[in-house]
C-alpha cells in the first residue's frame, strides 16, 4: 500500500511520525518534520505501521542532498539529509523530550549541545560485516542483511585507505572485521569468526584474530595508542574506546571542569573501561576504585594507570561489585552501556550515597529512566550536557551532573 502523509513529529531514532487514515501511527525513516511524502507501507501491526519514503512531495527547507550514495540503505547513517546545525538542534530537542516524557522532569536543565569538531571522517574505529561474496559492508537498518558498500564518509582517512583492500573468502568462516586507527594513524585490523583467515594486504599494519579462545596476534602489535588531552591510552583489540577522539577529549574536559578545584577522598569509576576518565580523576583523589567487566579493558586500565599507587580495580559486573564494596565515596562516575543501569547497580549506587554523581550516557531514554530514580532518592539534577559523539546518526552522548546533601 502507498499513501501520502505529512510528517508531524520526530522520535529518538531515525524515524518521523505520521498518521494513517485509520488513525494508526506510521513510522517513517529519513524524513523531516513538516514534509509531505509518498510512503510505501512495509510492515503493518494492529496499532502502528512502518513505511519507507518513495518520493518527497513537499520537502522541508532544511532538507539537503546526502553525501553518500548508500544513505538510507546500509543503516550506518540516519541524518545525512540534514545540515549539521539541524542535526545538533534535533539531538538537543530529543534529549530534552526524553527527559520530559520518560523521566517526568518538567524543565530539565539541558545545556547547549557540544558539537564534534569533525562532521565527517571522525571515527577511529569501524566494524564491517561481510557480504555473501566476501566484500565489506554494513548491516541494513533493522536487518541482518549485509549491504556491500563502495565508500563510507565516517571513518578516518587512514581507515578509508585500508578497508577497500580487505577481501575475504566467503567460505573462510570470518563473519566481520574491524579497523582501529591510533595516534599517528597506526592501524589495527581485527578479524572475528570461526578460524584465523589467510590474507594478503600490501599495507603496514597490525593484525589480530578474535576467537572464542581469546586474541591471537597475526602481525605487528595487538593494541593501538590513542592520545587524549596529551595523555596516551593503550587500547587492545578487544577493548572499547570512544570512536570520536576529539569529542572524548571534550567530555573529559567537561568532567574535570565539573570537579572544580576540589580534591576528593574517594572516587568510584563504574564501567571504567580502559581508564579514560580514571586517568584524569586519579590525581584528584586519595583513593580511586574502578569497576569493569571486560578482561581486555581491565588489562588496558592497569597499563594506563600503572603510575598510580592509590588505584584499585575490580573486574566484574557493576551490579555485583558495587553493592558488595561497602564504601561511601564522595563521587561515583557511571558510564554504562545503552541499556543503562541494572536495578542492582542502581541499588548499589543509592546504598553508597555519594555526594556527587556524574552519569555518562549513550542513550537518552535509559538515562531519563535512571535519572528519575535518582531524583526520587533526593538527588538534584544540576545539568545535562549533550555531546555529538556520532555526527550523521541519531546517537548522542550526554553527561549529567547530580548532587545530594548527605549527612
Which residue among the candidates 77, 272, 285, 362 is catalytic per the annotation?
362
Query: What H or E segment, with its residue span, contains residue 318?
Result: helix 318-324
Residues forming a β-bridge with 137: 129, 148
Half-sphere exposure of 301 (CA within 13 A, CB side): 29
DSSP string, 53-109: EEEEEE--TT----S-TTTTTSSS-S-TTS-HHHHHHHHHHHHHHHHHHTT--SS--
Could you identify the residue written with the cell 559486573? Answer: 317
In Å, the largest CA–CA distance within the chain is 67
Edge-to-edge strand list for the sheet holding 2-6: 2-6, 36-44, 48-58, 25-29, 15-19, 9-10
Buried b (16+ CB within 10 A) or exposed e, 75-114: bbbbbbbbebebbbebbbebbbbbbeebbebeebebeebb
Contacting residues for 152 by C-beta, under 8 A, at least 6 apart: 68, 70, 76, 126, 138, 160, 163
Alpha helices in 82-179 (DSSP H): 84-101, 157-160
C-alpha span between 342 and 379 (Å, rounded): 18
Q: Which residues pair with 292 in a beta bridge?
A: 315
Please say if 74 is a catalytic residue. no
**Taking Cα atoms as reference points, which of 177, 171, 169 lies closest to residue 127?**
177
**Contact of 247 with 253, CB cutoff 8 Å:** no
In the block, residue with C-alpha cell 605487528: 220
* Interhelix angle 364-376/84-101, nearest 10 degrees: 40
Residues labelled catalytic? 362
Amino acid at each position: 500500500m502507498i499513501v501520502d502523509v505529512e510528517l508531524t513529529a520526530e522520535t529518538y531514532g531515525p524515524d518521523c511520525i505520521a498518521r494513517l487514515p485509520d488513525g494508526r501511527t506510521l513510522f517513517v525513516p529519513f524524513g523531516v518534520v513538516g514534509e509531505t511524502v509518498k510512503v510505501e507501507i512495509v510492515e503493518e501491526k494492529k496499532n502502528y505501521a512502518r513505511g519507507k519514503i518513495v518520493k518527497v512531495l513537499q520537502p522541508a527547507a532544511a532538507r539537503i542532498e546526502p553525501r553518500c550514495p548508500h544513505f538510507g540503505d546500509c543503516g550506518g547513517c540516519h541524518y545525512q539529509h540534514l545540515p549539521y546545525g539541524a542535526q545538533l538542534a534535533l539531538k538537543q530537542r530529543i534529549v530534552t523530550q526524553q527527559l520530559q516524557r520518560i523521566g517526568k522532569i518538567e524543565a530539565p536543565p539541558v545545556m547547549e549541545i557540544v558539537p564534534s569538531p569533525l562532521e565527517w571522517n571522525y571515527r577511529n574505529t569501524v566494524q564491517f560485516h561481510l557480504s555473501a561474496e566476501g566484500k565489506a559492508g554494513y548491516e541494513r537498518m533493522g536487518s541482518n542483511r549485509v549491504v556491500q558498500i563502495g565508500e563510507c564518509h565516517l571513518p578516518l582517512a587512514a581507515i578509508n585507505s585500508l578497508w577497500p583492500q580487505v577481501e575475504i573468502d566467503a567460505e573462510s568462516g570470518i563473519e566481520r572485521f574491524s579497523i582501529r586507527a591510533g595516534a599517528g594513524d597506526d592501524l589495527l585490523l581485527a578479524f572475528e569468526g570461526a578460524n584465523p583467515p589467510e590474507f594478503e594486504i600490501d599495507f603496514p599494519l597490525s593484525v589480530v584474530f578474535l576467537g572464542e579462545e581469546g586474541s591471537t596476534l597475526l602481525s605487528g602489535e595487538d593494541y593501538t595508542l590513542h592520545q587524549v588531552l596529551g595523555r596516551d591510552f593503550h587500547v587492545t583489540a578487544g577493548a572499547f574506546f570512544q570512536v570520536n577522539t576529539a569529542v572524548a577529549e571534550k567530555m573529559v574536559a567537561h568532567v574535570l571542569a565539573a570537579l572544580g578545584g576540589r580534591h576528593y577522598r574517594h572516587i568510584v569509576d563504574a564501567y571504567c573501561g580502559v581508564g579514560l576518565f580514571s586517568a584524569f580523576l586519579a590525581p584528584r583523589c586519595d583513593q580511586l576504585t574502578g569497576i569493569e567487566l571486560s578482561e581486555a579493558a581491565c588489562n588496558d586500565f592497569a597499563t594506563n594507570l600503572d603510575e598510580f599507587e592509590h588505584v584499585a580495580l575490580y573486574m566484574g559486573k557493576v551490579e555485583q561489585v558495587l553493592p558488595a564494596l561497602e564504601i561511601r565515596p564522595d563521587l561515583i562516575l557511571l558510564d554504562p552501556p545503552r541499556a543503562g543501569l541494572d536495578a542492582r547497580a542502581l541499588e548499589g549506587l543509592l546504598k553508597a550515597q555519594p555526594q556527587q554523581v556524574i552519569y555518562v550516557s549513550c542513550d537518552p531514554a535509559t538515562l531519563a529512566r535512571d535519572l528519575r530514580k535518582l531524583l526520587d532518592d533526593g538527588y538534584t539534577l544540576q545539568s545535562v550536557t549533550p555531546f555529538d559523539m556520532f555526527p550523521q546518526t541519531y546517537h548522542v552522548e550526554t553527561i549529567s551532573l547530580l548532587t545530594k546533601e548527605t549527612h
